[in-house]
A and B are shown apart, each in its own frame.
Chain A
Amino acid sequence: MSSAPPPINDAAQHMTTNVPQALALGMRLVSVEGGKGRMEVPWREDLVGDPDSDVIAGGVVTSLLDHTCGLAIHAADPENQLRPATLDLRIDYMRPAAPRAGVTAEAHCYKITRSVAFVRAQAWDVDPDDPIATVQAAFMLSAR
């Protein structure tokens, strides 16, 4: 553990502190580096999707995944010149999250052109190798 933590740039910080939906869900920035971004949403009573199990709603996971994909695009565009708009988002739900568990998501922007970004992401509750959901998404990019 000799390496310093990666710098968290202003644009990434802006995504957690200046976006009303991110604030409303209590999203936290975990890391952003080299085309990858990671964020989390802690469990909260008002975010439950199934009152029988107290599992966090799929909609919260959708917002977190979409937002984390945007973060990964920032990470792949260090000069912050491009503004992404979601074209499509395909989410597979492997299993429900554990009862009363928060969710973490990591997205990887694995290809970026002048007009399009391609992103994969996954979300988990406890173990990154045991995901609750995976995502494949495409974003349209425009100049800021």
Chain B
Amino acid sequence: MSEAASHQLEAFLQRVPYVRFLGMRAELAGDEMTAILPFSEHLIGNTMIPALHGGVIGAFLEMTALAQLSVTQGSAKVHKTIDVTIEYLRPGRAMTTYARADLRKVGRRVANVHVEAWQEARSQPVASLRGHFLLAND
């Protein structure tokens, strides 16, 4: 399982150009994935604070959900987002951001996924996402 999961994850991260644009990485512990977004200048939305762009945080949460689904579903295809609700809890500061996805329900066609992102402490999340994803079947 673990080797297959890590293979799926690497395939997802390597294949999607936008993942490289963000500079997103991920680590696996068994089938549990932690997504990592190192801080980079081009992710800034507010230069005064400075803070990560809200859209970047939303995008990172969404890509985390898709990456976790690619690990669990074992499909090389990219699943399609149906809807997402992103809640912003704290400013995303100029430092590394982490995220973990919780697959609340994976049906035959649709998955419901919750994702939470944090920086210095997991108990102080910067944002969370709830979303539905249409599963791609090989």
Chain A interface (Cβ < 8 Å from any Cβ of B)? 18-24, 45-52, 57-60, 62-67, 85-93, 96
State the total of A-B contacts with C-beta under 8 angstroms.
Answer: 120
Chain B interface (Cβ < 8 Å from any Cβ of A)? 15-18, 20-22, 41-47, 53-56, 58-60, 62-63, 77-78, 80-88, 91
Choose one: A18, A23, A63, A96; the contact of B55 (CB below 8 Å).
A63
In the bound assembly, the distance between CA atoms of A28 and B81 in angstroms comes to: 25
* 18 CB-based A-B contacts, threshold 8 Å: A19-B44, A20-B41, A20-B47, A21-B45, A21-B53, A21-B55, A22-B53, A24-B43, A50-B16, A59-B55, A63-B55, A66-B53, A66-B54, A85-B91, A90-B85, A91-B83, A91-B84, A93-B83
In the bound assembly, the distance between CA atoms of A64 and B81 in angstroms comes to: 16
Which B residue's beta carbon lies closest to that of A86? B54
In the bound assembly, the distance between CA atoms of A38 and B111 in angstroms comes to: 32
Choose one: B20, B59, B80, B82; the contact of A62 (CB below 8 Å).
B59
Known: A91-B83, A92-B82, A93-B80. A62 touches B18 (CB 8 A): no
